Structure 1
Amino acid sequence: MTALTVRLPNSVHQKIKELAERDGISVNQFIASAAAEKMASVMTLDYLKSEANKGKRSDFEHYLSMVPNTPAPEGDERVQPVTR
């Protein structure tokens, strides 16, 4: 495990202490969890962008052309927006 010094505004530190106490965990656990959540979020976005870049418009259009051109089933219709 690595030790890390982080400088926080007093107000942020105080709020972290309050939230950690409310959750029954240490400030270290709270910050480690917050960092892990942020890391997972960034990595997920990177993955999704990478996968999206592999897509081809021609593939999309091919599969879209396979969708039958029929009315939506009852109850699934598109609702027209109300204009005023």
Structure 2
Amino acid sequence: MARITIRLPQSLKAAAGEFAEWDGVSLNHFIALALAEKVGIMGGAEFFAVRSKGADAERAVRLLEGRPG
């Protein structure tokens, strides 16, 4: 496990604390989950950006509409 120190505005810390309490987890756990979610989203966006290079957008739309490509 790594340990970091971050500075947060008091209002953000309070809001995160409320959500953590509502979710039944510690503030530390809530922040770790929020960071993991953000990293996953950004990683997913990068994956699809690389994966879509050279794609045929019109064919993709036809497939999504249920028309043979």
TM-score, normalisation: structure 1: 0.65
Q: What's the C-alpha RMSD, in Å, of the aligned pairs?
A: 2.5
Output the CA distance in 1 between the equivalents of 2:15 and 2:28.
13
Aligned to 2:16: 16
Which runs of no fewer than 5 residues in structure 1 stay unpaired?
A: 69-84
Q: Which has the higher contact order (CA 8 A, sep 6+)?
A: 2
Larger radius of gyration: 1
- Displacement of 1:56: 5.5
Moved over 6 A (4+): none
TM-score, normalisation: structure 2: 0.78
For residues 5-24 of structure 1, the C-alpha deviation after alignment (integer angstroms, 9 at most, x for no partner) is 01100000001111101111
Output the CA distance in 2 between the equivalents of 1:52 and 1:5.
38
Identity of aligned residues (%): 34
Aligned to 1:32: 32
Count of residues in Structure 1 that have an aligned counterpart in Structure 2: 63
Which runs of no fewer than 5 residues in structure 2 stay unpaired?
A: none
Aligned to 1:48: 48
